[in-house]
Structure 1
């Protein structure tokens, strides 16, 4: 299903997107795709061409070894850079399992209890809705805290509404979002049901800073990413002029008035249509697909980042049980029990971004990232997972080498 954030409108001219540039686009690929894994490579190439996606990546792991690392460029626009396996992409909500892992690590180190009340930890007023006293860290991580974006909207995308309500200028900050949310009732009683909430993960990021005494980014890099051997990941910035070295450009058919100031300037949706700085804990990280599959290994077995207890907690069933298809939301991951294994996965979506990360049975993990997402009139992006499942299940023999040392 395509998603259009509030305030976004179709761009009048699309010539700035390589998907619409004059001339026939050509597809070039970098990195390594062994012949045994040609089917995975073909899935990506077909998917990219069907959707006119300028920049993409795929990385795959089998039994802890990196067996495929690929960057893809599909464009007739010569300004679009070649995509390397180490190029950086916004990963949107794949950031959530990173944030949840940080909370689990704080609990593992005895710094906080997962049953701790967020209102007490952050000093949030509970006068508007006393039920806020029942929101715990567990409930925030599992999206059972009481906020439902389908009812009251996504507070992380309500910059203009919040600024008007609080009588302030743009841009707003996370403290302003919290102040606005604090004046509104919860959408349901905490623990009563699951409703996906970016705001809940914003609160988790603030808890990480309060308990650790460090910035969110600093704590994650020091306690999680460095021990996992992940060196490139960092928080993204909102403007194209602020892009990190090696970061791809982002594309959308939509524009909007910037939320980064009060100028009313019309900007491309990925560059000022939302405030990237407020999305750190719920969707703000940059990573390559290689970084993502390297990071995902921390959930395979106890190690320097998470112990066995923390890993079990990451995939624990929430108090409201499982959905009709047998899956549930753990801590930053969707989870489903299959024979002998817990499959875990998540997708991410922001204007200019689609990402997917899956840890599956038989020791197979993969990450795919793209620099545009499904929008009105475009093909379904969610078919990626089913196509990839068909491809990897058909692999007869797997490469035995490990590409991880090549991409430190």
Structure 2
């Protein structure tokens, strides 16, 4: 998004990831009333042996003035902690362990699981060119890069499709440019994004360079629709989430008045010009500076932390759920044809992967998500722990990094002397 659409007022940290600028509107004319002191509140059942997790979340949120957060932790496949947190003077904000948050790029592991399930069923060929499944038609008078024929489903899953947002701006955040180029009104749709991007030259040869691509996962969502003959949401809910009892998760909506029941409000320092219509109105960045509906398969899901750690059990081996078999799970976490980092980490099917050798061989897998108004983290460890942490903002005047939640939660896990018994999953799933 360019500076003609985004402005900045006063204080705060620079843009992150997609880059949403401009501070929130100030107070009304006249001297502002003194703000009430924020109050810390935690919901869900406290577990004394896991108090370090609560402490980590409280420290993180209070240092950054985050009003809503959530955490769920599992051990050996059992839910041992599920908490909602608030740090605010807003007495109406009631964050429960099942409240819904935007998941941002934690949507990618969901899409990766759906594609792996289709491959397991013989419904999709991971080596198939994406153009054989999805119509990739450039704008009238334009031409498609001939290398698109080398963009396969597997390469999209591994971010090896050839699109590089560090070279060419991420088309998922180019609504104004796409509308102008195609001569269509706002809001643009996913088909518009695809038509515009098909007319661009690839930044890399497919399969040659790892470059994180939201657009690649948009195409995977459309491939799911093409091979199933139905909607992306329906397939995921019926074949990935439903089999493990997850019914709360759903695609989110952009506009504030379209929030789902129990969905938290989102906060950002920034405002932007709405992409939902051509009015030119300034809106809080989380509520119209990007189009969440277009991001369904790469960044559009809503869910809770308990939903995410339940979803993570889909990847337990030996397979403990009816979603993916052991062969499919190994394929999800297999090394790509290129893109292995110096420390051995790489990108699987919707997951970052790092092999770990400690008394055996295993792997840590994780993903983060980031949008204006959202920061999320999902971790699976080689020794049977997992956790999900969700927040309703990613920027604040402190300038502190939101990625700091990762080492804080690892430290909390290492400090656990004895993991509690029992399983709280039945408290949250039928």
Which range, TM-score by smaller chain? over 0.9
Equivalent of 2:186 in 154, 157, 170: 170
Asked whether the 8 Å contact 1:2–1:376 carries over to 2, the reply is: no
Residue 3 of structure 2 corresponds to none
Residue 419 of structure 2 corresponds to 398
Alpha-carbon deviations, 1:218-260, whole Å to 9, x = none? Answer: 0000011110111110010111111111100001010111100
Q: 1:199 to 1:161 in 2, by over 3 A?
A: same
Residue 97 of structure 2 corresponds to 85
**Structure 1: any 5+ residue segments left out of the alignment?**
none
TM-score normalised by L of structure 1: 0.96
Residues 353-368 of structure 1 aligned to structure 2 (within 5 Å): 353-368=374-389
Residues 9-408 of structure 1 aligned to structure 2 (within 5 Å): 9-13=22-26, 22-79=35-92, 81-125=93-137, 127-301=143-317, 302=319, 303-339=321-357, 340-374=361-395, 378-408=399-429
**What CA distance in whole angstroms lies between the structure 2 residues aligned with 1:5 and 1:319?**
27
The RMSD of aligned alpha carbons is 1.6
Asked whether the 8 Å contact 1:57–1:368 carries over to 2, the reply is: yes
Asked whether the 8 Å contact 2:273–2:281 carries over to 1, the reply is: yes
CA-CA distance at 1:78 after TM superposition: 2.9
Q: 1:383 to 1:371 in 2, by over 3 A?
A: same
**What CA distance in whole angstroms lies between the structure 2 residues aligned with 1:334 and 1:280?**
20
Asked whether the 8 Å contact 1:2–1:375 carries over to 2, the reply is: no
CA-CA distance at 1:26 after TM superposition: 1.0
Asked whether the 8 Å contact 2:353–2:363 carries over to 1, the reply is: yes
TM-score normalised by L of structure 2: 0.91
Asked whether the 8 Å contact 1:236–1:284 carries over to 2, the reply is: yes
The DSSP-based 3-state class of the residue aligned with 2:383 is coil
CA-CA distance at 1:6 after TM superposition: 5.3
- Between 1:288-297 and 1:323-332, the stretch displaced more is 323-332
Asked whether the 8 Å contact 2:17–2:370 carries over to 1, the reply is: no
**Structure 2: any 5+ residue segments left out of the alignment?**
1-13
**What CA distance in whole angstroms lies between the structure 1 residues aligned with 2:260 and 2:25?**
28
**What CA distance in whole angstroms lies between the structure 2 residues aligned with 1:321 and 1:203?**
20
